[in-house]
Every structure is written in C-alpha cells, then in structure tokens.
Amino acid sequence: MPTIRGGSTSRNDGSTCQEFTIKVLTGQRRVGKSYVLLQLMDHIRNTDPDANILYINMELNEFVSIKTHTDLNAYLKDKFINDKNNYFFIDEVQEISSFEKSLRSLLAKNICDIYCTGSNANMLSGELATHLSGRYIAFHIHSLSYQEFLEFHRLDNKFESVLQYLRYGGMPFLPNIGLQDELPFEYLRNVYSTILLKDVVARENIRNVSFLENLVIYLANNTGSLFSANNISKYLKSQRVEMSPQLTINYLKALSNAYIVHKVTRAEIGGLKIFEIGEKYYFEDIGLRNAVVGFNQRADIHKLLENAVYLRLVQQDYKVFVGKMGEKEIDFAGDKNGSRLYVQACLTLNNDETTAQREFGNLLQIEDNYPKYVVTLNDISTGVSQQGIIHMNLIDFLTADQ
C-alpha cells in the first residue's frame, strides 16, 4: 500500500506545505491490521531512508503508561525532527482515552503524516467523525479472502480447500498453526475471548456478560436468518432469560462495533425504502463463528455458504443489503460505484424444480439489467446462463471478480 498524503496549503510567505490526512485502518482484532502498518513503514523506509518514523503499539508493555491523550502528547514531545519527513504510526489507537484530541492537534501543527489502526467502529462514527470530519480516510481490513486463504496455506483451489475455508475461516495467523485437529479452534477460541473482553465488554461497559455470550451463540446458530431484537428477546424468554429488546439492540450494536458480526439490513428492490425490522447478521470470520458453536458440516453448511458469499461481496467493497420484493427475498443486493449485482445462495439445485424456481424465479422478477447470480456449493455446472442469470459454483464465485 503506497503512502497516502493530502493536498498542499499556502503559507503566508507564498511557499507551500504538506496538508496531511489521517489514514485509519479499521477491522476486527487479529485480522492483520498491524502487519499492514509494518508493511507501510517498510515502504517508507525504502522510499525515504531519512524519514523519522514513530511507532506506538498499544498492545506492547512499553506503551502501557500511555492511557490518555495527555500521556500521548507528553510521549510525542520533542520526537519530531524539523528537517525530516515525520511519520507517526499508532496501533489500536482506541485504547487511548480522547486520542482524537491529540490527532487533531498534530493535524493542526501539520508536522507529521499519521497512520492508525482501531478495532471499534465507534472510531469512525464517534471520535473521529466528531473531531476530524473530512480529515481522515478509512480503510477496512477484513480477514483473509478465499484466494488469500489458498495462498497463505499453500493449498490448491479445489473442493476440499473450500471446505477447509468454510471450517477454519481466514484469520491470517492460522498458517503458523496448521489446519489439523483441534489446534486451530483452540487458537480461534482464544482470539474470540480476547475480542469479546477487550473490544466489547471493556469498551462498551457490558455488565451482563453471560447474556452477551448467549447472544453470540444465538447469532452463530441463526447466521443468515431474518430476525429482530423482539424475536431474540422472545426466544430468550422461552429459555427463562429476561432481557428487554432495547438492551438486546445495544448488545448487538456492541458486537457490530467490534466487527465480530456485520448487520445487513433489508431494502426494497427498485426502491429507496430501508426496513428497520428484520435484519440478518453474518460473521467477519467464519472460523470464529465455528469456534463459538462448533463445526457441523451437515447441519450448518448452508449458513457457512451464505456467510462466505457475503464476505466475498464486502471484501470487494460492495455495500450489501437483503433484497425484498413484496413477500419474496433476494439473499444479497450489492451496490458499488453506481452499479449493482444480485446473488442467491443455495446449497445445491440438483435438478429440483421447486428450488430452481425459487432461486432463479425471484431473480427473474427483478426488472433491471444488472448482473444476477445463483451460487451453489457442489454443483458442477458453473458460468451457465439461464435467461441472463449466471449459475456459479462457490469456488468460482469466491475467485472471480464481480
């Protein structure tokens, strides 16, 4: 990733100076944001050997004393060099209270190029949006795509490999552990616990941790299902757990803020109406989902298939909705740069006329000419067009550019 700078501004003496823009890498903890920072630093060293690079990793003990923006200001004092290009990198910046005040001050002084990472969406909707509107660019870092999964694990692109992806997911550290026995899931469970405690419980001041854990289990068991906070509350009540819909919504938001799950709302096909009730949730990493509730290929494969299709779309920068046409549904409608596509995901067609009619028929009723796909897991035929709808095998969908 190249160094990204802002424009230039004029000084009173007629000369120009660099106007910096903060680069923010967001995403779930342990998806590789830190390594992207390290790669950026290597790039800068290669292109500007005299650069002055400052680096803070809030997960290291040597920086544990930096707790507030005042501590950060004190640490940075006298560390910038006037006659050199200054770069400031800070990893997991949300761990510093009121960090945005320090970043705003650094921008005002215009003395360094700033890069930071964060594992909570409130950085963009809260702290940075309030204090640094228009002065930052966000880049979302996802877990490994299927193509990256193959490359990292040195696997061939075949059916067995896609099943391993649906089982273990795309956390980038897994190649150091291997994909055998229970070791990968032991690692994934530890990652999940860290995310839940650091990025949800501690940051959001969650009191009912037991309910939060049960809520994640519910989401994992109902991946890709339409439901509302009221439905979840009714289910919990049937389990003799009393929890208000509003508190359930707050906990769902906290999980989404930590990027554990993604909320996908419903939108009317061909219209602008967004439905506030009845959303779907998908996991940022399929392996973490399986670590929470276990991997049951026979019972869960259709949920994992749908989650994988969703991840492929967001990894390609689509804004994804659940499409609605009256009583009928399109699994995914994706918007990007003024264009759109539609995707139906099902396990297999197997010459089943009812299934084919449901998957193809819903798409045929959409009155536009944007690309339409039916994605299945193990059907051999792929790329075949039926009245303009493309039937693709999951492997091909995960490796093609849509």
Cα-only R_g, the chain: 23
Global pTM reads 0.90
Two tokens at 223?
Answer: 């991946």
Indicate if the alpha-carbon torsion angle 255, 261, 266, 267 is positive or negative. Answer: positive
Tens digits of per-residue pLDDT, 126-138? 778 887 877 899 9
Around Cβ 332, how many Cβ atoms within 10 Å?
Answer: 25
Which pLDDT value is given to residue 273?
A: 65
- Supply the angle between the helices 159-168 and 286-293 in degrees, to the nearest 10: 60
CATH architecture of the domain 8-140 equals 3-Layer(aba) Sandwich (3.40)
Return d(Cα 184, Cα 197) in angstroms, integer: 20
Contact 339, 328 (CB under 8 A): no
Which pLDDT value is given to residue 230?
A: 78
* Residues in the chain, pLDDT under 50: 1-16
Q: Which residues pair with 171 in a beta bridge?
A: none
Which pLDDT value is given to residue 10?
A: 31
Q: Where are the domains of the chain?
A: 8-140, 146-399
Two tokens at 319?
Answer: 């804004």
Which pLDDT value is given to residue 328?
A: 87
Return d(Cα 320, Cα 317) in angstroms, integer: 9
Contact 48, 85 (CB under 8 A): yes
Tens digits of per-residue pLDDT, 188-235? 999 999 999 999 999 999 999 999 998 999 999 999 998 877 777 777
Residue 352: CB partners within 8 Å, gap ≥ 6? none
Cα 102 to chain center, whole Å?
Answer: 26
